[in-house]
Amino acid sequence: MRIGLIGLGKMGGNMRERLRRNGIEVLGLDHNPDLSDVVDEAALVAGLGDGPRVVWLMVPIHAVTPLIETLRPLLAPGDVVIDGGNSKWTHDARHAAYLGEAGIHFLDVGTSGGVWGLENGYALMVGGPQEAYAIAEPVFQALKPAGEFGLVHAGAHGAGHFTKMVHNGIEYGLMQAYAEGWELLEASDVVTNVPEVFESWREGTVIRSWLLDLMVRALETDPHLEDIDGYAEDSGEGRWTVNAAVDLAVPVPTIAASLFARFVSRQDDSPAMKMVAAMRNQFGGHAVTPAKD
């Protein structure tokens, strides 16, 4: 089988490599010509031969719609476009409808695996019709981890990205819970051996996990994380998770708290806490700390 893969960055580049190792031919296209196998989308589609052709997009969210507009006239009924990036699930129905007008299938695929995916495989969460899923399944099989897990057809259009969004929302909560526990152990006088505590937790405990394994790795080289700053970006899915939960009236206190902790981590100073300090000064005469220059 041969597919087109557009977007050969950190994720897409490794995915091309894993696909090739597992017997899928890949025509890659990137805005960086040094990474590309073809010069443009037309050449990519032309190189895929007879249909049904499969084109996998692994590009930033803002690049998806223009790319789909470029691809539609190049493709034919029965072909399949896959959005495997971190796109917002609410975009999927629109993209599916737009391609559907030309008889082209659309699948949204949430992809997890990060820098470990090349070796371990990518967990894939797929949304869209069964007919298209069946066409693309050899690609999914080549990308997914060995063994029985790591691939699911989660539902109709949008289900793949919705599922990946929730995966990441959970991830926020898990990371924050571990991080709070670590901070508490570090703050305690009584526990003197925190990196070894974390390492010991890798077997026999209720909280053993892959994230725990990664924390142990991080602590091996920097036992008190003195070399890095407490600054954490968010990539969108955490926000979408909270917003989706709010829209569906689902209480998500830990996921929201995790997201807010990241927001705070990026503030030089907290406006809200300025106001709290100002109020304390007003009613109690409590000293305020002058702002730093």
Examine residue 10 and tell whether it contacts a second copy (CB under 8 A): yes
C-beta of 10 vs 31, nearer to a second copy: 10
d(CA 272, CA 153): 43
DSSP 2: E
Q: Which one-letter amino acid corresponds to residue 242?
A: V
Stretch that binds a second copy, among 50-58, 66-74, 99-107, 221-229 (CB under 8 A): 221-229
**Which residue in the set 4, 17, 230, 237 belongs to the binding site for a second copy (CB under 8 A)?**
230
Q: Which of 50, 51, 48 is nearest to 29 (CA)?
A: 48
How near is the Cβ of 190 to a second copy at its closest, in Å? 5
Stretch that binds a second copy, among 23-31, 50-58, 98-106, 143-151 (CB under 8 A): 143-151
Greatest C-alpha distance within the chain: 78
Q: Estimate to the nearest angstrom the gap between the alpha carbon of 259 and the chain centroid.
A: 15
Residue with tokens 């069946």: 134
**Which residue in the set 34, 62, 101, 231 belongs to the binding site for a second copy (CB under 8 A)?**
231
**Which residue in the set 76, 102, 115, 134 belongs to the binding site for a second copy (CB under 8 A)?**
115
**Which residue in the set 45, 99, 135, 255 belongs to the binding site for a second copy (CB under 8 A)?**
255
**Burial 218-251, CB ≥16 within 10 A → b, else e:** ebeeeeeeeeeeeebebeebbbbbbebbeeeeee
C-beta of 106 vs 178, nearer to a second copy: 178
Examine residue 112 and tell whether it contacts a second copy (CB under 8 A): yes
**Which residue in the set 36, 65, 70, 254 belongs to the binding site for a second copy (CB under 8 A)?**
254
How near is the Cβ of 64 to a second copy at its closest, in Å? 18
How near is the Cβ of 77 to a second copy at its closest, in Å? 25
- 88 assigned to active site: no
Separation in Å, CA 146 to CA 88, 150, 164, 214:
28, 8, 20, 20
Examine residue 48 and tell whether it contacts a second copy (CB under 8 A): no
Looking at 10, 88, 144, 164, which residue is catalytic?
164
Interface characters, 151-190, with a second copy (x: CB under 8 A): xxxxxxxxx--xx--xxxxxxxxxxxxxxxxxxxxxxx-x
DSSP 34: G
Stretch that binds a second copy, among 17-25, 46-54, 72-80, 262-270 (CB under 8 A): 262-270
Stretch that binds a second copy, among 41-49, 54-62, 70-78, 207-215 (CB under 8 A): 207-215
C-beta of 53 vs 153, nearer to a second copy: 153
- Angle formed by the axes of helices 253-265 and 237-247, to 10°? 140
Q: Which one-letter amino acid corresponds to residue 229?
A: D
Stretch that binds a second copy, among 28-36, 67-75, 129-137, 266-274 (CB under 8 A): 266-274
DSSP 273: H
- Whether 169 contacts 255, CB under 8 Å: yes
How near is the Cβ of 96 to a second copy at its closest, in Å? 12
Looking only at residues 118 through 137 of this chain, which bind a second copy when binding is defined by CB under 8 A?
120-125, 127
Identify the helix (H) or strand (E) that includes residue 152.
strand 151-155
- Whether 105 contacts 135, CB under 8 Å: yes
d(CA 28, CA 62): 20
Enzyme catalytic residues: 164
